[in-house]
């Protein structure tokens, strides 16, 4: 253990400071496709009974009209966060008419590209902007790729913890800048070590052959509908997933917040020849928001993002520039198809220890070679993570995944124990032990378990529907209380009313609104 890590842990372990660790906040966003009883993509509109996808704070859509997204509030106890997520699922199932929530991360059998419905958000300017942005995504990446689903895990450490450590380290600078720098340092370590999460929690070693749309690939054939790689952990996070030639040059290595925001502002303001050739509009119809490398900053796909809650009308990058980093959003987690929520408390407890380790561990600047090694390690594990003897790169030298994983888990253990001290019990240490078991026996990983089910004779659709129906029965067997149901009904009705009011009070034309929105990112932060 490094001297810096030892000092930070000793400080947090003091009786007066331990309660800070119970004030971390956790939020989850879970995406999932709606499918019909045959495991085909549901082509119905977003259910009106769930409320407005534009204005509901907890139930919305991501890319497709069929791709639901459930969003929890931020809670100090991840058990409460998961309970919130479960309530949202129960309410959704009370309104889904003969449809199911698809359990795997990789999509069900999809219709042709033209048939996949893009999400609609009504006639308000912001609703239209969200729709045009998605039209641009379809144009740039295709609709198929946009139907992949995942779990986003959001975590913040309390401001008081950062202030305590800033003072102890004799840093007399601006508190906001120190906090942002520490979150960016966390992200650098996440880049170094996130391959471990893909080994432990990757759950997409196979996919429906239709996903490839006839493109060349190096996947193996499992049956007449299922393609796979024998040692893959997460094809979702591989080069089969969200990839783009335009984004290939965008590799911010998170050495400071300003270089990160500058690179995104540049990408949002820089034309890309292939997109310029298509144009933003044709015959008066919007095709994409602009012809730049990125239409908006959220188009940049990364495994983890620095985040800040935005004010009304404020863009994410403006919030970061003005008020610094407030939390991180972990975006690389597959949905575990064996779990009703796609994630459970054991995974959450381990993620908390892992992220605390990334936050407290030394985090040198990522030099060019290490930055590439981080990317290569990650891609190796998502495609071959369970291969016996797999070697990764560390400090320019080969190291066995098995050995490095065990070393990391040993280093994370004191963080898990510290969290247990702050909250009582041994849940975090036990969660870590569960991960050590997966390193010892790859058959215990979710990816191996998925593959084992598929190799027993179930094709991809049959497996996905079996799990989806099991989870539907689970949620429907324990409906919400009358009070909880009523609260969700009220939220849904209020969101629909909010959308109507937004549309009724709209002023000006959409073209002017879109121009002002796009100009806003180039304005200096205030």
Core vs surface per residue 23-57: b (16+ CB within 10 A) or e: ebbbbbbbbbbbbeeebebbeeebbebbbbbbbbe
Say which CATH number the domain at 334 has.
3.30.590.20
Domain contains 500: yes
Q: Which helix (H) or strand (E) holds 206?
A: strand 206-208
**Where do we find the tokens 């490839």?**
212
**Where do we find the tokens 């598929």?**
454
Q: How far is CA 343 from CA 335, 348, 511, in A?
A: 7, 7, 41
In this predicted structure, the answer to whether residue 241 has a pLDDT above a threshold of 70 is no
Asked if 360 contacts 416 with a C-beta cutoff of 8 angstroms, the reply is no
Asked if 334 contacts 105 with a C-beta cutoff of 8 angstroms, the reply is yes
Strands (DSSP E) contained in 85-164 are 100-101, 151-156
Residue 369: predicted pLDDT: 87
Per-residue pLDDT tens over the stretch 212-240: 998 899 999 999 999 999 999 999 999 88
- CA-based nearest residue to 144, from 9, 243, 280, 4: 243
Domain contains 194: yes
Torsion sign over Cα 452, 456, 458, 459: positive
In this predicted structure, the answer to whether residue 42 has a pLDDT above a threshold of 60 is yes
Residue 522: predicted pLDDT: 66
Distance CA 252, CA 126 (A): 29
Q: Which helix (H) or strand (E) holds 162?
A: helix 159-168
CB-based contacts of 184, cutoff 8 Å, min separation 6: 254, 255, 256, 257, 260, 306, 325
Residue 248: predicted pLDDT: 67
Per-residue pLDDT tens over the stretch 4-14: 999 999 999 99
Residue 285: predicted pLDDT: 96
Task: Classify 400 as helix, strand or coil.
Answer: strand
Domain contains 287: no
Residue 438: predicted pLDDT: 98
Give the chain's mean pLDDT: 94
Domain contains 361: yes
Mean pLDDT value across residues 376-394? 97
Residue 244: predicted pLDDT: 65
Domain contains 265: no
Residue 523: predicted pLDDT: 58
Mean pLDDT value across residues 30-57? 97
Asked if 86 contacts 341 with a C-beta cutoff of 8 angstroms, the reply is yes
Domain contains 25: yes
> Range of 74's domain?
3-242+301-520
Per-residue pLDDT tens over the stretch 402-421: 999 999 999 999 999 999 99
Q: How far is CA 311 from CA 56, 319, 322, in A?
A: 16, 8, 11
Q: How far apart are the first and last CA of the chain?
A: 41
Q: How far is CA 13 from the centre of its chain?
A: 31
Residue 172: predicted pLDDT: 95
In this predicted structure, the answer to whether residue 132 has a pLDDT above a threshold of 50 is yes
Distance CA 524, CA 318 (A): 8
Residue 301: predicted pLDDT: 87
Distance CA 370, CA 466 (A): 42
3-state percent helix, strand, coil for the chain, nearest multiple of 5: 50, 15, 35
Residue 519: predicted pLDDT: 86
Q: How many structural domains compose the chain?
A: 1
Domain contains 525: no
Portion of the chain with pLDDT greater than 90, in percent: 87
Residue 521: predicted pLDDT: 74
- Based on DSSP, count helices (H) and strands (E) in the chain, helices before strands: 17, 14
More confident residue, 239 or 429: 429
Per-residue pLDDT tens over the stretch 140-183: 999 999 999 999 999 999 999 999 999 999 999 999 999 999 99
Q: How far is CA 102 from the centre of its chain?
A: 17
Domain contains 340: yes
Per-residue pLDDT tens over the stretch 485-505: 999 999 999 999 999 999 999
């Amino acid at each position: 253990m490094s001297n810096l890590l030892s000092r930070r842990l000793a400080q947090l372990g003091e009786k007066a400071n331990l309660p800070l660790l119970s004030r971390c906040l956790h939020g989850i966003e879970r995406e999932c496709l709606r499918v019909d009883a045959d495991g085909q993509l549901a082509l119905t509109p977003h259910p009106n009974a769930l409320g407005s996808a534009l204005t509901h704070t907890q139930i919305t859509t991501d890319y497709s009209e069929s791709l639901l997204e459930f969003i929890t509030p931020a809670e100090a106890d991840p058990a409460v966060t998961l309970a919130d997520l479960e309530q949202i699922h129960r309410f959704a199932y009370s309104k889904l008419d003969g449809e199911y929530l698809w359990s795997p991360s990789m999509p069900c059998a999809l219709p042709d590209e033209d048939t996949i419905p893009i999400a609609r958000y009504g006639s308000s300017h912001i609703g239209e902007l969200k729709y045009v942005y998605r039209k641009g995504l379809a144009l740039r990446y295709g609709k198929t790729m946009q139907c992949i689903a995942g779990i986003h895990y959001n975590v913040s450490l309390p401001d008081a913890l950062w202030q305590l450590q800033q003072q102890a380290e004799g840093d007399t600078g601006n508190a906001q800048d120190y906090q942002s720098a520490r979150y960016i340092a966390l992200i650098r370590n996440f880049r170094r070590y996130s391959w471990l999460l893909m080994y432990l929690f990757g759950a997409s070693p196979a996919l429906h052959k239709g996903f490839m749309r006839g493109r060349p690939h190096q996947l193996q054939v499992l049956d007449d509908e299922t393609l796979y790689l024998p040692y893959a952990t997460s094809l979702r996070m591989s080069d089969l997933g969200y990839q783009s030639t335009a984004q290939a040059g965008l590799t911010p290595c998170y050495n400071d917040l300003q270089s990160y925001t500058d690179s995104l502002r540049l990408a949002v303001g820089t034309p890309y020849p292939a997109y310029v050739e298509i144009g933003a509009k044709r015959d008066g119809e919007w095709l994409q928001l602009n012809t730049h490398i990125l239409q908006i900053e959220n188009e940049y796909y990364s495994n983890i993002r620095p985040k800040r809650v935005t004010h009304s009308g404020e863009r994410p990058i403006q919030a970061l520039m003005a008020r610094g980093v407030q939390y991180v959003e972990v975006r690389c987690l597959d949905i575990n198809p064996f779990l009703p929520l796609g994630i459970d408390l054991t995974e959450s407890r381990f993620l908390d220890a892992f992220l605390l380790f990334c936050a407290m561990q030394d985090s040198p600047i990522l030099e060019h070679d290490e930055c590439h090694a981080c990317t290569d390690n990650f891609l190796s594990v998502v495609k071959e993570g369970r291969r016996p003897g797999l070697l990764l790169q560390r400090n320019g030298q080969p190291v066995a995944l098995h050995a490095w994983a065990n070393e990391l888990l040993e280093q994370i253990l004191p963080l898990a124990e510290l969290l247990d001290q702050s909250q009582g019990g041994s849940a975090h240490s036990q969660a870590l032990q569960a991960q050590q078991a997966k390193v010892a026996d790859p058959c215990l990983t979710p990816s191996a378990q998925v593959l084992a089910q598929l190799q027993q004779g179930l094709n991809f659709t049959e497996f996905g529907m079996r799990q989806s129906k099991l989870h539907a029965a689970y949620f429907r067997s324990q409906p919400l209380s009358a009070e909880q149901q009523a609260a969700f009904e009220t939220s849904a009705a209020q969101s629909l009313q909010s959308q109507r009011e937004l549309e009724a009070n709209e002023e000006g034309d959409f073209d002017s609104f879109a121009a002002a929105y796009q100009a806003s990112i180039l304005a200096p932060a205030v």
